[in-house]
Structure 1
Amino acid sequence: MIDFLREHQTLLLLLFPVVTAFVGSWLGAWIQARGGMAQAKAALAAAETSAAAANAAAETAAAAALSVVQKQAEADHATYLRGQCTTAISGLLDAVREYVRAVDKTYSSSETDPLDQAYSDFVHARTTIELVAPAVLASATARVVTTAELLADLAEDRSAAERARQRLDAELLANPVAVARARNQLSSLQASCDAAGDGLLPPQHREVSTALLNTGILEPPAVAALIVDCLKPDLDRVRAQLTDDHQLALRVFITAARATLGVRD
């Protein structure tokens, strides 16, 4: 071995720097490669962390944006419903007042077209408020409707007699004797019916009917309405009581409506 080294000493001395350089280069490349892998892994981990943070931030931003949109939609819907409720409340008030005015006019006029239109508007307004108004208004609404309908029922039952009575009064100056006689007999019949209180007409109603017809002012249906009306309680008293009940119902409804809409004095 020693002889070999001695014989090839010159060659080995020439190769040694080359081998040393090669080994050094290889070792440096290996070390650099290992460092690059570590850097790559670190960069990948950092990228993954950054991506996760970005995703979380995006999800948070999306959730916040969705919450804002939902809240705005809810606010818009509440505003819309409030507007609908306000319109329905004012619509019912206008309709019921017009209806009651039309009902009152039937005591002096037999024209039915205004009443029919007012009733149609009243029904529409009642239906609308039942659909859009909150449940807390249901009772107050029902009371307004009921009292208005009671006034209408009274007018339907007794307006014909009242119109006949007004026609007699209007002709008193033109035909004082006949009209006064008929009115006196009618008052006497009314007193007899009130005293008896049995819901039956006394025999004198035939004489009263004849006296009313003899005035030449009233037709038989109007005379019949006056005679039958004698069996009923005083119209002015009943009408005043129902009107008071209706006005009270309106005040209660308005108070409840203002509270529903958040109106404060």
Structure 2
Amino acid sequence: MIDFIKGHQTLILALLPIPFTFAGAWLAAWVQARGGHAQAEAAEKAARTAAAATLQAVREQADHAAAEAAAAALREQRISAARHLIRADRVLGRVLHTMFREPDTDSTPSYDDLLDAWGVVQLVAPTPLATASSRVLAAAQGLQLLVRHRGEAYRLHTQLASIRASRPEYDARQAAESLDALDALDALRAAYAAGEANMTELHAAASAALDRLPALDAEQASALLDDCVHPEMGPLLAQSWREHKEALDAFVSCARNVLGVTD
């Protein structure tokens, strides 16, 4: 073997670099392939990261847009609810005023509309505004009860008080009888307020004074007599209207604060 190597030394030395060259080329190709694969993996990872970041940004933008849309929709709902309540309350107020001139006026539909408007506010408004709307409803309820239960008597009492002898539709005698009836009613009311035990004579006197007024029928006279068990309505009515206005003003102010309205 040694002799063979020695005999072919020149040939072997000439051929020996070939396998090493091939091995080197293969190793270089393998290393390059590995490098390309790693580079491809890195590029793919970077692409995935970029896609995830883009998707997250799109989602955040969509969530932000959805939140803004929801806030805008809620604001519109609150504006609509507040506007409906204010309008319904004012309509009911006009109806209650009308009842003094037209006793047969029915306030139920207007009150039901206000109640419906109040319910909507309770659903969409924050607590301060919902509380303010309840105050409006309570004030309107008290005013409506006062007008419905005592409005007819108050209207009749006001008519009697407005009679003067100078008015052509009444002569001096009729005016005097009207004033006598008012005095009798005031005396009966004062007796009720004082808690007097026996008011038979005062009641009879007031009833007789009303009977002398031909413009009043029995039902109207009874309404005036029955109303005497209550305090004078004029101050109560004025107080009820004042409380109602204060409640509505407070609601409007609260609504402006909730909606961020500034002057």
Give TM class, smaller chain.
Answer: 0.7 to 0.9
TM normalised by structure 2 equals 0.84
Distance in 2 of aligned mates of 1:29 and 1:131: 84
Aligned to 1:84: 77
Q: Which of residues 149, 153, 156 in structure 2 aligns to 1:157?
A: 149
RMSD over aligned CA atoms reads 2.8
Determine if contact 1:95/1:122 at 8 Å carries over to the other structure.
Answer: yes
1:12-36 CA-to-partner distances (Å, cap 9, x unmatched) read: 79xx76x777655444333222211
Q: What secondary structure is seen at the aligned counterpart in 2 of 1:217?
A: coil
d(CA) in 2 for partners of 1:174, 1:247: 37
Residue 45 of structure 2 corresponds to 52
Tell me which moved more, 171-180 or 228-237. Answer: 171-180
Q: What is the letter of the counterpart of residue 230 of structure 2?
A: K
Deviation at residue 152 of structure 1 after TM alignment:
0.7
Q: TM-score, normalised on structure 1?
A: 0.84
CA distance in 2, matches of 1:195, 1:70: 72
2:206 paired residue number: 208
Contact 1:193 1:199 in 2 (8 A): no
Question: Which amino acid in 1 is paired with 2:244?
Answer: H
1:67 corresponds to 2:60: yes
Unpaired segments ≥5 residues, structure 2 = none
Residue equivalent to 1:126: 118
Q: Is contact 1:109-1:163 (8 Å) kept? A: no
Aligned to 1:235: 233
- For the pair 1:250 / 2:242, whether they are aligned, the reply is no
C-alpha separation in 2, matches of 1:79 and 1:159? 44
Contact 2:115-2:137 at 8 Å conserved across structures: no
CA distance, structure 1, for counterparts of residue 39 and residue 189 of structure 2: 106
Give me the identity figure in percent: 28
Q: Which has the larger radius of gyration?
A: 1
2:195 counterpart of 1:198: yes
Q: Give how far 1:182 is off.
A: 4.6
* SS of the residue 2:41 aligns to: helix
> Would you identify which runs of 4 or more consecutive aligned residues in structure 1 move more than 6 Å?
19-22
Per-residue CA distance 1:120-150 (angstroms, 9 max, x = gap): 2111111111111111212222211111111
1:204 is displaced (CA, Å) by 3.1
